[in-house]
Chains A and B, each alone.
Chain A
Amino acid sequence: MPWTKVPSTQYPDSSSRRKAGYWALCAGYWVLLILTFLSAAPAADEKHISVFSPVAIYTLPVMEHASHEYVGLLELLEPLGRVSTQTDGRHWNLRYNALDAEFVAGKTRARIHGRNFDLAAPFLIENSRGLVPLSSLDALLPRFLGTPVNFHESARRLLVGEVGIQISFQLDASNPPRLVLNFSAPVNPTISTEPGKMRLVFKRDPVIPPESQPISFDSKVITRASYFESNGDAEFDVAATQPLMASFTNNRKTIVVSAIPATTPATGMPAAPNPAQAQPSAANVASRRVLAMVDPAHGGDERGAALSDTLAEKDVTLGFARLLRHELEIRGFAVALLRDGDTSSTLDQRASASNVAHASIYISLHATSQGSGARVYSALLPVEGSSKGAFHAWNTAQAPALPVSRMVSAAIVAELQKREFPARASSASLRPLNNVFMPAVAVELAPGADGVADLTNANYQQRAASAIADAVVSVRDRLGVQP
């Protein structure tokens, strides 16, 4: 008798089982993925306390119980000295260096070094961790540490000892105006810009509030500065009517916030008229829309090449940049220098400032003691990083503008050669050329017939600056105005 396949009414067939298994696996995978993501991603509004002491700077999570905020006492004291604890579930004993303390779960009364101490809310024990209310830290910690503490409870910033960094302001009404922020110790804030505002967030610096604030300035560009603290961080905001950029100097104890000149009348912030030209021509009115970002390379601690025993590249580039600014301005361009003093900025900051300002051209200036004349470089793009949809990778942001950059480079070489400068165009892996989205070139000025002395010779620099400015004018129509 031949075998026949009898459909089972009790069990689904094997393909149905496979499908069900597949969907179950998929569902399980996604549930696991979501759970992993939820458990790994910190809540955006997670409360924490920041502790600044001479020996450690750290943050700790803050918990809420019965409308009181609590923090683990062991975790709080551990970075500051030798700590050990014992607990039987109800009593919680702590030894900090040679000092003993005893807390009881649910009680506000504690004994520290043989003396009573009353907490503002009951002591809690959670998974053997002893929790004390934040509102008692001001009085509690000096008992252990023997040093005063300054606790900004609403902002949850705890300063142990004399660690506070003072901040002072000064508005320099030069053109463009600059707000000089001086700190009593080096700082390292996170700096970000948004329309009408620059934010400096101090997460690791024990900055203390200025005496009076918010501060209004008698300036149409930089109008106001304000300081506030929240969730362990301090934030300093500068309000302005133009895009701002920041640079560090004085070993990171000074931050100079300066305005980038406006580029187009459409923004409502026309470029300052050039006093040298009372009756600007139509061509100049058009060219005034173009913002040229001039970057004197290096600066501050970063000296660049040693051109001689006493001459640093950063000093030559600054003087050269000021001359180029003048040459471009008399041709009707709006010009911003990425530094106008001995300040330092990272390469990313230079690129960001140029991109944020929507400059139409970026010109980086360098100097060398080798060779003669000048070399003009456009970007040598690296292997492209990952792009996200319409966004370009940071390391190849220059890619779309590279053809125009090469054209600008060739125009500068041609103008330099007209003035009898030995000049040549080339490509270089030189940041931040590849990080800016507008046409970008770097000019490396080399000595002339008189050797390195030429690099500081005003006439020599003037000839080179004039050639660059003429070249930029010649390609102005190709630069356009960045959106």
Chain B
Amino acid sequence: MIPRHLLIGVAALLALVVSMGIYVRHMRRQAGEFQYATDSPVAPPASGPTETVTLYVADDAAGMLRARSAQIPLPGGRQQRAEELLRALLRIYQQPGAPHPLAPAADIRSIFLVDPGAAVIDLNAAFADQHRSGILSEQLTVNSLVETLAVNVPGIQRVNILVEGKTRETLAGHADLTETFDVTTVEQAGNQ
């Protein structure tokens, strides 16, 4: 005859195996849902205290930039802060019905802050390849990036824009990306 304590032990182990199986199945389903949800690009979560920043949002209909306050979490480092700022700007442009629509796949690869006073914005290929072609549309994008960066990251006086780490002649056939943008000149142009 099998001792009672052994029966209880085997039953407990069986129950544990079954419950583990159910738990594993549940976890797999959750993982599948997560994979489905992340098929579209999502900006990495920013950590840090929430701050009020000023984003210069392009408005195609008005043909100008509009200053808009936003509360976004900003990390401590200057470079990460700059990247997060422009990603917040991109999220506005990627919403349905945006005043200046940009491609969903458009992204900022990185921003390099080079002292003294120079910033290099590296866009991904989709940003430029899928950008609408036209002087106004392209210039608004450039001005929006440059002014948002300059206003929120103190000390930036000059900005270069690269695409996939390389110099590109124009953003989408018009706006010249081979030269260095002077922040003051861009701001003055925005005030015209």
Residues of A within 8 A of B (CB): 298, 302, 304-306, 313, 347, 366, 368-371, 375, 377, 380-383, 395, 424-431, 434, 442, 444
Check B135 against A380 for contact (C-beta < 8 Å): no
Check A427 against B137 for contact (C-beta < 8 Å): no
Check A370 against B136 for contact (C-beta < 8 Å): yes
> Does B164 reach chain A (CB closer than 8 Å)?
no
Beyond A429-B175, A429-B176, whether A444 also contacts B136 by CB under 8 A is yes
Interface set, chain B 135-160, CB cutoff 8 A to A: 135-137, 139, 142, 158
Q: Write out the residue numbers on chain B whose beta carbons fall within 8 Å of the beta carbon of A366.
A: 134-135, 174
Most B C-beta atoms less than 10 A away, residue of A395, A427, A429: A429
Check A370 against B134 for contact (C-beta < 8 Å): yes
> Does B182 reach chain A (CB closer than 8 Å)?
yes
Check B181 against A428 for contact (C-beta < 8 Å): no
Check A375 against B179 for contact (C-beta < 8 Å): no
Cα A444 to Cα B134 in complex, Å, equals 8
Check A370 against B132 for contact (C-beta < 8 Å): yes
Q: Write out the residue numbers on chain B whose beta carbons fall within 8 Å of the beta carbon of A304.
A: 133, 173
Q: Write out the residue numbers on chain B whose beta carbons fall within 8 Å of the beta carbon of A313.
A: 133, 173
Cα A347 to Cα B178 in complex, Å, equals 12
Cα A368 to Cα B139 in complex, Å, equals 13
Write the B102-117 contact mask toward A (1 if CB under 8 angstroms, else 0): 0000000000000000
Other CB < 8 Å A-B pairs besides A383-B180, A428-B174, 16 of them? A302-B173, A304-B173, A305-B132, A305-B133, A347-B169, A368-B135, A368-B137, A380-B185, A380-B189, A382-B180, A426-B136, A427-B189, A428-B139, A428-B189, A429-B176, A431-B170
Shortest C-beta distance, A280 to chain B (Å), equals: 36
Closest to A369 in B: B134
Q: Write out the residue numbers on chain B whose beta carbons fall within 8 Å of the beta carbon of A381.
A: 182, 185
> Does B186 reach chain A (CB closer than 8 Å)?
yes
Cα A418 to Cα B189 in complex, Å, equals 24
Check A375 against B173 for contact (C-beta < 8 Å): no
Check B175 against A430 for contact (C-beta < 8 Å): yes
**Contact among B61, B142, B192 with A429 in the assembled complex (CB-CB below 8 Å):** B142
Closest to A429 in B: B176
Check B63 against A371 for contact (C-beta < 8 Å): yes
Closest to B157 in A: A383
Shortest C-beta distance, A447 to chain B (Å), equals: 12
Shortest C-beta distance, B62 to chain A (Å), equals: 10
Q: Write out the residue numbers on chain B whose beta carbons fall within 8 Å of the beta carbon of A370.
A: 60, 132, 134, 136-137
Shortest C-beta distance, A454 to chain B (Å), equals: 16
Check B179 against A395 for contact (C-beta < 8 Å): yes
Check A375 against B180 for contact (C-beta < 8 Å): no
Beyond A368-B136, A429-B179, A444-B134, whether A375 also contacts B63 by CB under 8 A is yes
